[in-house]
Structure 1
Amino acid sequence: MNIYGFDHIVLCVRSVEATLEFYQRVLGLEAREERAGKWSLHFGSNKISVQDADSLPQLAERTVPGSGNFCVLTEMPMEEVIARLRTHDVEIVEGPAEKAGAVGKLMSVYFRDPDANLVEVSNRIS
């Protein structure tokens, strides 16, 4: 196998509506209804599928809300990221701090979404 990237991740959530609203408002992601009742959040060439915890397919039956932990990249200066989070009353749980990313150093802040999934927003450090 020659694995070269991610296509999407899936978040198991208690409320699809609250999750869509949070990620649109705080991070500016685009919500799309892929088919009736099946929603996802898009940014660049990436997708976060949003799965309602009350209607999990059998394949994902052990997935639980709040177990997600992921990092997204932005070119927005970290000071502006922090200001935006504060504007939306999002508590920063760690950072800004230097971290190791997939291809180099990152400057990151961490916060939790409505289901307590851990979200990291980072700038690449050149």
Structure 2
Amino acid sequence: MQPHVTSLDHLVLTVAEFDRTITFYRDVLGMELVTFGAPPRYALRFGVQKINLHLAGQELEPKERAPGPGTADLCFLTDTSLTDWQAHLTRQGIPVEDGPVPRTGAAGPIMSLYLRDPDGNLIEISQPA
């Protein structure tokens, strides 16, 4: 039998500033801040996944070949209507760059909104079509 992966546990974002990033992902996207380890490390949990945060210039080893703020393109699934998301983003002062637009997700058709986090990472919020 050929080995295979079954799911994503976590990914790492290299960020310019912890506070700005934590505020965005917690207050705008509804993720939960988790601290662990010593010295304290930061992660943002959603569902059964998390995003570990590394500060630019202080990344933990091993690390990406070329870590840097603003180099990610992430798609998050939601069960909240994109109309509700648009209203929420407007209240938060977060501009939508594109959408809603049809896209193809891992499990089939999705409708997506695109925005940027504080480091310029492209964030896609998607609802199964």
The one of 31, 34, 43 equivalent to 2:33 is 31
Describe the SS at the equivalent of 1:47. strand
Task: Report the identity percentage.
Answer: 33
Residues 10-62 of structure 1, C-alpha deviations (whole Å, 9 max, x = no match): 11000011100111110110001112331000011010111111311343262
TM-score w.r.t. structure 1 length?
0.94
- TM superposition shift of 1:2: 1.4
- TM superposition shift of 1:120: 0.5
Please identify which structure carries the higher helix content: 1
Specify the alignment match of 2:73 in structure 1: 69
1:7-26 mapped onto 2 (5 Å cutoff): 7-26=9-28
Distance in 2, Cα, partners of 1:49 & 1:58? 13
Distance in 2, Cα, partners of 1:72 & 1:34? 24
> In 1, are the aligned partners of 2:33 and 2:43 still within 8 Å (CA)?
yes
Specify the alignment match of 2:56 in structure 1: 53
The one of 73, 76, 86 equivalent to 1:82 is 86
- When residues 121 and 2 of structure 1 are mapped into structure 2, their CA distance, relative to the original with a 3 A threshold, is same
Show structure 1 runs of 4+ deviating over 6 A. none
The one of 104, 119, 122 equivalent to 1:118 is 122
TM-align CA RMSD: 1.1
The one of 95, 101, 105 equivalent to 2:109 is 105
Deviates more, 1:4-13 or 1:60-69: 60-69
TM-score w.r.t. structure 2 length?
0.92
